[in-house]
Amino acid sequence: MLGDEVRTILDEVQDPVYRFCLLQLGSEDRAREATQETALRIIQKHRQFKGTSKVTSWAIGIALNVCRELRRRESTEIALSKENMDQTSPLDSQPDQNEEIDQLKQAMQQLTERQRDTLILRYFEEMSVSETAETLQMAEGTVKATTSQAIKLLRRIIGIRSESS
């Protein structure tokens, strides 16, 4: 039986963890699987949470590891068909935006894992530089530099000119 403390943690982090996993994995089924695994690890490790950071940052750090493990495991298995990899997500619900969303998804896949993780945390999860640095276990300056590099690369891939160009 779950204690009140663990239940409170799970209630607080469930939605941000799911969104993070969906952006990382691109599939609702895979995101649900990763969210469930993250919840299991939170239950197992909740006593390790020291309270020096936001509980959401701590949980997304766990989710990040789960997503990485899932991608590694999948890459060693037989390659799935493109149809299975391109399942729809809630982001695809507005027909007028489908093309732009698909373009962004494809561009995000061309980034390095570090660049993608940094952008997702900073802009989709709206974490501060310090929260992102703590979650990814990197220096704040590295977060800033990686974010800047990722944005420049995305602009180049998508063909958006920066205002300084």
Find tokens 């701590």 and name the residue. Answer: 58
Torsion angles phi and psi, residue 108, rounded to 5 = -60, -35
Q: What is the pTM of this model?
A: 0.68
Compare 38 and 96 and report the one with higher pLDDT.
Answer: 38
5-47 pLDDT, tens digit per residue, is: 888 889 999 999 999 998 888 889 999 999 999 999 999 988 8
- Which of 67-76, 79-88, 147-156 is modeled with the greatest confidence? 147-156
- The tally of CA atoms less than 13 A away on the side-chain side of residue 73 is 9
